[in-house]
């Protein structure tokens, strides 16, 4: 392992045409990403996947600059250099069902330029061992569960021993046990790499990342630590217990409901709850901070 | 070689059954016919018309009909290498089909001499196969749809078949069936050379298109 990478994103804009109209997927992103595990959070359509694809050298910026370890991703040479240190797990993992896990990872290793057959064989075995698939290496992928396919995806991402690992919505569709295992694996990998985890599952970020950014409508809404994001909701989180279900007040979001014997306990995020005699302030979680940030984004009011 | 092995293994199986089915069909039809002139017409029809059409349709699907396309794009493998590794197996299948058919045909005493010597017979199917392969590939990449590439292949094939007289008199250099329909045409060599050059130009267009990877995701 030859170390982590530094990523600098400045004024990044990405537009593309869809059905005769122009979509602005990214509207001036500025980010610095350093060592360890970095989380990208945001609702569907926030621009996360577009940003991931630009960082992976697949999509080209419309304007602005992206530098990875000094390589400018606006140039073919820069993209190629980045891809040579990259491990990438896309949101929609396409695999060849007729290949075995070992064959698939071996093929990806060839595409990544691992031409020495002996070294490649060793790396394939190591990558499959890292994701605990060494005993299933010779089984066809079509017989794998969703979680095993995701692990094959991570194995192919790791086979070239990448310094930069980009994973886009990696835990979507996994059962709780597999999700936890996958998160732990990513944290372990981030010890020696820069890992960018993109997701809309807040819990995944809170459990793994020291730093994160929240994207919304193509802009960075927040950049900081998970604790910092939680603090955005301070003074705006409440628990209210009522005998029956009610519509929340405008500007308030129910983040959870707990059915008690004859009542329902709501956890609410919003400023309009203050003054309700039954409302008790609660300590904000990461999810509360995220919800509060999204409320502020929708209403145009600062958190 | 390993890349080609995996390119072969990762093709959809139905892609490979398709040319095999046509090969068997034409062998059986030729075998059922007793008259040598009809057998020759069937053999010429397969080699000169069907084989190129199948090649063009397969080529239209070769690059983009790949479930792991996004993973492939995230590797440093260049567009030229991607094109080569995805198209070489198709050319291999077409070549194997063409050679196998000729062996069957010769076993049935089909006389290919009306098409010229050995080289002329091979060029009669190789040139239109290369042309339609280039049309299929570039069409699919230009429109980012495999089906459109296949449609364009079929359209070029049909226009060339139906408008033979007009094309020969107005732009004979681009008539790809000259080798099978006009084997003694004085411009045959020139036409085949022009078509190969045009195919190379389309290959360059395909290469440039494939470098814009985000269009295909």
Residue range B155-189, pLDDT digits in tens? 999 999 999 999 999 988 999 999 999 999 999 99
A80 touches chain B (CB under 8 A): yes
Cβ-proximal residues to B198 (8 Å cutoff; 6+ apart), any chain: B131, B134, B174
CA distance A64 to A282: 41
How many Cβ atoms from other residues are within 10 Å of residue A287's Cβ?
Answer: 21
Do A26 and A81 sit in the same domain of this protein? yes
pLDDT tier at B80, thresholds 50, 70, 90: very high
Residue reference for tokens 């709501």: A266
- Across the range B191-198, mean pLDDT stands at 96
Asked if residue A92 is part of any domain, the answer here is no
Query: Which chain A residues are closer than 8 Å to B79 by Cβ?
Result: none
**pLDDT on residue A179:** 82
Give the per-residue pLDDT at B211.
Answer: 94
Chain B residues within an 8 Å CB radius of A16 = 214
Q: Does residue B1 register a pLDDT over 60?
A: yes
Choose the final residue of a domain: A140, A159, A178: A159
Q: Given A121, A139, A159, which residue is the final one in a domain?
A: A159
Sort out which chain B residues have CB atoms less than 8 A from A112's CB and list them.
75-77
Which residues of chain B from 61 to 120 reach within 8 Å of chain A, CB to CB? 66-78
CA dist B86 → A5, A90, A93, B64, B205 (Å): 33, 22, 20, 10, 16
Chain B residues in contact with A155 by the CB 8 A cut-off are none
Of B3, B68, B70, the CB nearest to A58: B70
**A62 and A170: one domain?**
yes
**CATH code of the domain containing A196:** 3.40.50.300
- If asked whether residues A1 and A46 sit together in one domain, one would say yes
Structural domain for A287, as ranges: 230-299
Chain A residue closest in CA terms to B4: A107
Q: How many domains does chain B have?
A: 1
Helix crossing, A101-111 with A117-130: angle to 10°? Answer: 120
The total domain count for chain A is 3
Residue in A125, A142, A196, A132 with CA at minimum distance from that of residue A165: A196
Find out whether A94 and B69 touch, Cβ atoms under 8 Å: yes
Give the distance from residue B170's alpha carbon to the nearest chain A alpha carbon, in angstroms: 38
| Same domain for A234 and A213 | no
Which of B6, B69, B73 comes nearest A110 by C-beta?
B6
B chain contacts of residue A56, beta-carbon cutoff 8 Å: 73-74
Locate the chain B residue with the closest alpha carbon to A89. Answer: B71
pLDDT at res. A273? 65
User: Do residues A201 and A234 both lie within one domain?
Assistant: no
Q: Does residue A130 sit in the same domain as residue A155?
A: yes
Minimal Cα distance from B73: which residue of A? A58
Interface touch B77/A56, C-beta < 8 Å: no
Residue A217 sits in the same domain as residue A78: yes
Q: Are A235 and A275 found together in one domain?
A: yes
Do A193 and A205 belong to one domain? yes
Query: What's the confidence (pLDDT) of residue A175?
Result: 79
> What's the pLDDT at A303?
41
User: Has residue A90 been placed in a domain?
Assistant: no
Most confident of the ranges A3-12, A253-262, B5-14, B97-106: B97-106
- In this structure, the answer to whether residues A111 and A251 fall within a common structural domain is no
**Are A68 and A170 in a shared domain?**
yes
- A109, A143, A159 - which closes a domain: A159
Same domain, A64 and A172: yes
Tell me the pLDDT of chain B averaged across its residues. 93
- Name the residue in chain B with its Cα closest to that of A115: B2
**pLDDT tens-digit profile, chain A (303 residues):** 556 789 999 999 999 887 788 889 999 999 999 989 999 999 888 999 999 999 999 999 999 999 999 999 999 999 999 999 999 999 888 999 999 999 999 999 999 999 899 999 999 999 999 888 999 999 999 999 888 898 899 999 999 999 999 998 887 777 788 788 888 888 988 988 899 999 888 888 888 899 999 999 999 999 999 999 999 999 889 888 877 766 667 778 888 888 888 888 888 888 766 667 778 888 999 999 999 999 888 776 544
Determine the structural domain holding residue B106 and report its residue range: 2-216
C-beta atoms surrounding A220 within 10 Å:
21
Q: Which of B76, B82, B83, B144 to mutate to test the interface with A (most CBs of A within 10 A)?
A: B76
pLDDT tens sequence across B107-142: 999 999 999 999 999 999 999 999 999 999 999 999
């Amino acid at each position: 392992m030859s170390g982590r990478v530094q990523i600098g994103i400045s004024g990044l804009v990405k537009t593309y045409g869809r059905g005769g109209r122009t979509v602005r997927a990214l509207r001036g992103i500025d980010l610095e990403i350093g060592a360890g595990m970095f989380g990208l959070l945001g609702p569907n359509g926030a621009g996360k996947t577009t940003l991931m694809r630009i960082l992976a050298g697949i999509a080209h910026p419309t304007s602005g600059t992206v530098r990875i370890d000094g390589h400018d991703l606006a140039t073919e040479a820069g993209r190629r250099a980045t891809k040579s240190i990259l491990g990438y797990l896309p949101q929609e993992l396409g695999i060849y069902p007729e290949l075995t896990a070992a064959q698939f990872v071996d093929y990806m290793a060839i595409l990544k330029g691992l031409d020495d057959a002996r070294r490649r064989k060793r790396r394939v075995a190591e990558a499959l061992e890292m994701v605990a698939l060494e005993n299933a290496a010779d089984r066809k992928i079509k017989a794998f569960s969703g979680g095993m396919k995701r692990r094959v995806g991570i194995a192919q991402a790791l086979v070239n021993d990448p310094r930069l690992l980009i994973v886009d919505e990696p835990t979507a569709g996994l059962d709780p046990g597999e999700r936890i295992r996958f998160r732990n694996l990513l944290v372990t990998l981030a010890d020696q790499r820069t890992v960018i985890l993109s997701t809309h599952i807040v819990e995944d970020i809170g459990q793994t990342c020291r730093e994160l950014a929240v994207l919304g409508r193509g802009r960075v809404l927040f950049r900081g630590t998970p604790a910092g994001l939680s603090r955005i909701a301070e003074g705006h989180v409440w628990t209210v217990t009522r005998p029956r279900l009610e519509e929340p007040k405008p500007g308030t979001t129910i983040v959870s409901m707990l059915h008690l014997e004859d009542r329902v306990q709501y956890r609410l995020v919003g400023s309009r709850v203050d003054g309700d005699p039954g409302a008790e302030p609660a300590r904000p979680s990461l999810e509360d901070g995220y919800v509060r940030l999204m409320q502020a984004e929708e209403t145009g009011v600062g958190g | 070689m390993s890349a080609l092995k995996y390119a072969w293994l990762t093709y959809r199986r139905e892609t490979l059954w398709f040319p095999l089915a046509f090969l068997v069909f034409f062998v059986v039809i030729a075998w059922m016919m007793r008259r040598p002139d009809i057998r020759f017409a069937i053999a010429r029809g397969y080699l000169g018309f069907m084989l190129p059409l199948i090649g063009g349709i397969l080529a239209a699907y070769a690059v983009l009909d790949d479930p792991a396309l996004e993973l492939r794009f995230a590797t440093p493998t260049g567009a030229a290498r991607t094109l080569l590794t995805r198209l070489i197996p198709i050319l291999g299948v077409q070549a194997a089909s063409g050679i196998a058919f000729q062996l069957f045909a010769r076993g049935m005493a089909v006389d290919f001499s009306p098409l010229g010597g050995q080289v002329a017979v091979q060029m009669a199917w190789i040139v239109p196969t290369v042309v339609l392969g280039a049309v299929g590939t570039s069409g699919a990449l230009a429109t980012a749809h495999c089906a459109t590439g296949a449609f364009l292949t079929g359209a070029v094939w049909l226009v060339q078949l139906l408008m033979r007289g007009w094309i020969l008199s107005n732009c004979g250099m681009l008539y790809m069936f000259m080798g099978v329909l006009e084997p003694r045409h004085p411009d045959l060599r020139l036409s085949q050379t022009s078509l190969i050059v045009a195919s190379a130009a389309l290959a360059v267009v395909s290469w440039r298109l494939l470098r814009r990877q985000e269009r295909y995701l």
